[in-house]
């Protein structure tokens, strides 16, 4: 008889590897994607404290029911698919005309975006990947630091990022535009290297800060001078309370230098339903004068087959006047949450940012490692947050708290945080 | 006053181009994507004959209502999203556990695919793009010629394809495996150059031919000898009538060399609902022994955010025993269509292939250009087909006819074709 150990060695030997080399870009990706990483910590915590009542202020995931009018529209559309009259097969890759029109007319009324410039998608994260496919590996890019990890991760995957430098925690070819309390969360553009692409998210995830009109005017001017393209992520636009722009296209001339990606996820609780859009203005051209919109259209037609028609029916309902009021009332509920959490943390003497124009609160713990603070809060209060360093080296010393949640959860979280920090 | 003409020149001059270079890979793409191209011909035809009753046997788009049991599941799920108990936000990027399990247990029961090897997607075209992102620009690839255009187009976009050679109509770095009547629609592997990746679709789009067990055994052996990865597209598996394999994993050893992409589109009429899946076996490794599934998981988590939860509820209903019977009865309806069209064309003395294991009929017009035959049939019968050359140089002289459609449409098309060719 062959002993078990030897059998296992033999078994390992017969595993047949292909001769296909692993993609070097994927080898360069750092750690896991942030949120699965946090889930692992969560799982360990649950094993340690199986009876603890965990509160999740981590991933920014909507919690409140979708308004009736929107859910009913989707249910009716789905039901009609079983009838001869209501059945629909492939739709246009770019999205249904009625929805493109409603997005242009409802959300971009004052800035005159055309229906044909709106591309409906299954969410902004997916469109960020499609934009990277559009741009290819030879462009250079800048991001806010900290920022939503998908910008850098997709840049690494497509091959733009260069090598990761352990010491700085940065990729060599990416320009990190530090945004923190010291510069009012807006990069020092005089010291920013010229890049082809500038990813810019406002209201910002994770800092919760919205750029002012003057700041965005500066950004557009900077992009024009440098011949750069801004990819403006406005996924949280509906959370803006003050007079900060809700779209980059509110800035004169932005159509010649900017693309906007956005989403129904946080706007209408569609995180699981999946729906978003991207605006590519006709005016935007590559250096040879070729319109960017033509290439994006080609990418959408080749690499994507349209968002679910049921989700699109829901999107259309969100943009009816009654639907819009209903989804905004859910947004206001989350904003009230943000206010509660913001006031609690401020009352404890913590340095808190964001929360007024975004569903995120950004808390500074000077001198501390953000994963340490994350673990400390989890251990002591059973609250999941997000360590700021997960958003880039500029997020070190910070924690992001999501203010999505049922009211009683936010109140309970506030209570636990008060107990811990007072 | 400045004359109008001069004003317009001035206007043109002030258009500001960015300094971002157009992606060279996108410059290399040939023509438009096939189906939008056909739509242009269709539009011109409608302008010329506004009263003609057009029949569309072009794009393979499902036409029959989704079975009640499936539509009701989606409607109920959508409706429940408006309740506290039924609301769901982000799901797992890889798909809901119950659906992954149902796919593994219902569709891969005999070949022991694990739930964790199934990745739910918004359709196979989107997953083909994600697989290209996984593989990167440094791999070489082979495709059946003719083949579904997305394989080559996404290869060009990611940068694998090399330069297009006008004379041959081929990209320099892609190995075109000719499949036609002369080789029983299976490539001569002895003459096929070794590549890292082999895209293989069976039952095939556009030829409608399913590879036999013996042919797929040869293919797996070839991949093993060459250390290649097969990307097997089984989107039409449910149309198999004879004993051809419905999955590449029916071939012993395939898990060490193959990935399978598939879809609910043609299986359950989900072309507009959007749902598919990809199976990446744990056994499949890159040359350094790194499991491909780990990198694909990372791509899915970074570049995708899961398929719509409503669509997933529909997918689950399709895989219940009652749902499965219901969707199969729709498939049988399309198969009956295929039989009608196949018999009609054969009775006219045309050389016809496919139609028995797939919803496509592949018609040979020796000595003719396929776009010419396309235009001729459109002009004379008002029937839209697909010119075979749209699927690669190996499709020249052929037309693809889709057999999706209401029965009366297929009968009317048969009548018109009889009038034209008899």
Shared domain for A168 and A47, answered yes or no, is: no
State whether B305 and A154 contact (CB < 8 Å).
Answer: no
* In a domain? residue B47: yes
The proportion of chain A whose per-residue pLDDT surpasses 90, expressed as a percent, equals 93
A10 or A267, which is more confident? A267
Given B285, B320, B355, the domain boundary residue is: B320
State whether A286 and B21 contact (CB < 8 Å).
Answer: yes
Average pLDDT over residues A374-384: 97
Interface subset of B 190-209, CB within 8 angstroms of A:
196-197
What is the CA A134 to chain-centroid distance, rounded? 19
Q: Report yes or no: A31 at the B interface, CB cutoff 8 Å.
A: no
Instruction: Return mean pLDDT, chain A.
Output: 95
CA count, 13 A, side-chain hemisphere, A272: 26
Shared domain for A233 and A91, answered yes or no, is: yes
* In a domain? residue A87: yes
| pLDDT given at position A137 | 98
State whether A302 and B157 contact (CB < 8 Å).
Answer: yes
| pLDDT given at position B15 | 60
Residue B110: pLDDT band (50, 70, 90) is very high
Residue of A nearest to B94 (CA): A36
Shared domain for A281 and A187, answered yes or no, is: yes
Q: Report yes or no: A92 at the B interface, CB cutoff 8 Å.
A: no
Contact B208, B354 (CB under 8 A): yes
* In a domain? residue B10: no
**pLDDT at residue A121 tops 50:** yes
Q: What is the per-residue pLDDT across A164-216, written as a single tens digit (0 to 9) for each?
A: 999 999 999 999 999 999 999 999 999 999 999 999 999 999 999 999 999 99
Shared domain for B76 and B225, answered yes or no, is: yes
Shared domain for A35 and A82, answered yes or no, is: no
Shared domain for A50 and A97, answered yes or no, is: no
Interface subset of A 378-417, CB within 8 angstroms of B:
none
Q: Is the peptide bond before A146 cis (omega within 30 degrees of 0)?
A: yes
* In a domain? residue A101: yes
Q: Report yes or no: B311 at the A interface, CB cutoff 8 Å.
A: yes
Residue B7: pLDDT band (50, 70, 90) is very low
Shared domain for A169 and A239, answered yes or no, is: yes
Task: Give, as one character, the DSSP assignment of residue B192.
Answer: P
> Looking at CA atoms only, how far is residue B54 from chain A in angstroms?
17
Q: Could you give the CA distance from residue B150 to residue B166 in angstroms, rounded to a whole number?
A: 19
Shared domain for B99 and B168, answered yes or no, is: yes
Shared domain for A108 and A240, answered yes or no, is: yes
User: ipTM of this model?
Assistant: 0.95
* In a domain? residue B21: no
Total domain count for chain A? Answer: 2
Rounded (10°) CA dihedral B416, B417, B421, B422: -60
Collapsed DSSP state (helix, strand, coil) of residue B392: coil
**pLDDT at residue B221 tops 70:** yes
Of the candidates B154, B228, B303, which has its C-beta nearest A126's C-beta? B303
Q: Which domain holds residue A113?
A: 68-319
Q: Could you give the CA distance from residue B131 to residue A284 in angstroms, rounded to a whole number?
A: 30
State whether B75 and A76 contact (CB < 8 Å).
Answer: yes
CATH number (domain holding residue B385): 3.90.1150.10
B281 or B5, which is more confident? B281
* In a domain? residue B4: no
Collapsed DSSP state (helix, strand, coil) of residue B196: coil
Given B287, B320, B353, the domain boundary residue is: B320
| pLDDT given at position B9 | 45
> Looking at CA atoms only, how far is residue A47 from chain B in angstroms?
20
Residue of A nearest to B67 (CA): A82
* In a domain? residue A151: yes
Shared domain for B288 and B356, answered yes or no, is: no
Q: Could you give the CA distance from residue A201 to residue B370 in angstroms, rounded to a whole number?
A: 49
* In a domain? residue A18: no
Contact B286, A17 (CB under 8 A): yes
Of the candidates A20, A35, A288, which has its C-beta nearest B139's C-beta? A20
CATH number (domain holding residue A79): 3.40.640.10
Interface subset of B 114-143, CB within 8 angstroms of A:
122-123, 125-126, 129, 133-139
Shared domain for A106 and A119, answered yes or no, is: yes
Token couple for B163: 């330069």
Q: Could you give the CA distance from residue A145 to residue A143 in angstroms, rounded to a whole number?
A: 6
State whether B17 and A286 contact (CB < 8 Å).
Answer: yes
Shared domain for B140 and B258, answered yes or no, is: yes
A386-387/A351-354 β-pairing: unpaired
> Looking at CA atoms only, how far is residue B291 from chain A in angstroms?
9
Token couple for A343: 């006031």
Of the candidates B91, B253, B274, which has its C-beta nearest A308's C-beta? B274
Q: How many helices (H) and strands (E) does chain B have?
A: 14, 15
| pLDDT given at position A1 | 41
Given B320, B349, B382, the domain boundary residue is: B320
Backbone dihedral region of A404: left (phi > 0), alpha (psi from -120 to 50 degrees) or beta? beta
């Amino acid at each position: 008889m062959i002993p078990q150990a030897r059998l296992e060695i033999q078994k390992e030997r017969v595993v047949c590897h292909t001769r296909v080399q692993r993609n070097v870009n994927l080898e360069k990706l750092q750690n896991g994607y942030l949120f699965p990483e946090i889930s692992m910590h969560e799982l360990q915590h649950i094993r340690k404290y199986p009876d603890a009542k965990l509160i999740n202020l981590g991933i920014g995931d909507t919690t409140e029911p979708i308004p009736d009018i929107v859910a009913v529209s989707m249910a009716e559309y789905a039901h009609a698919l079983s009838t001869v009259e209501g059945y629909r097969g492939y739709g246009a890759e770019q999205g249904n005309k009625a929805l493109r029109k409603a997005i242009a007319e409802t959300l971009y009324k004052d800035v005159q975006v055309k229906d044909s410039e709106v591309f409906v998608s299954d969410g902004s994260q997916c469109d960020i990947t499609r934009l990277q496919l559009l741009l290819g590996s030879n462009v250079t890019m800048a991001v806010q630091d900290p920022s939503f990890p998908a910008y850098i991760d997709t840049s690494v995957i497509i091959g733009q990022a260069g090598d990761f430098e352990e010491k700085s925690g940065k990729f060599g070819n990416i320009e990190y535009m530090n945004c923190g309390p010291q510069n009012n969360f807006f990069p020092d553009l005089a010291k920013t290297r010229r890049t082809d692409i500038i990813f810019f998210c406002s209201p910002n995830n994770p800092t919760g800060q919205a750029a002012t009109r003057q700041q965005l005017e500066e950004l557009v001017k900077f992009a024009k001078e440098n011949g750069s393209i801004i990819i403006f992520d406005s996924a949280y636009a509906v959370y803006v309370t003050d007079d900060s722009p809700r779209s980059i296209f509110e800035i004169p001339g932005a159509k010649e230098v900017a693309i906007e990606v956005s989403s129904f996820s946080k706007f209408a609780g569609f995180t699981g339903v999946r729906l978003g859009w991207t605006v590519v203005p006709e005016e935007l051209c590559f250096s040879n004068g070729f319109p960017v919109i033509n290439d994006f259209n080609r990418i959408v037609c080749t690499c994507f087959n349209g968002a679910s028609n049921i989700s699109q029916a829901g999107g259309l309902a969100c943009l009816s006047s009654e639907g819009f009021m209903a989804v905004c009332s859910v947004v206001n509920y989350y904003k009230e949450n943000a206010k509660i959490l913001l006031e609690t943390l401020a009352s404890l003497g913590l340095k808190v940012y964001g929360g007024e124009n975004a569903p995120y609160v950004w808390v500074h713990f000077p001198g501390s490692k953000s994963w340490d603070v994350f673990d400390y809060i989890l251990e002591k209060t059973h609250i999941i947050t997000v360590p700021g360093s997960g958003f880039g080296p500029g997020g070190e010393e910070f924690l992001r708290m999501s203010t999505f949640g049922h009211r009683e959860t936010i109140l309970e979280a506030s209570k636990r945080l008060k107990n811990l920090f007072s």
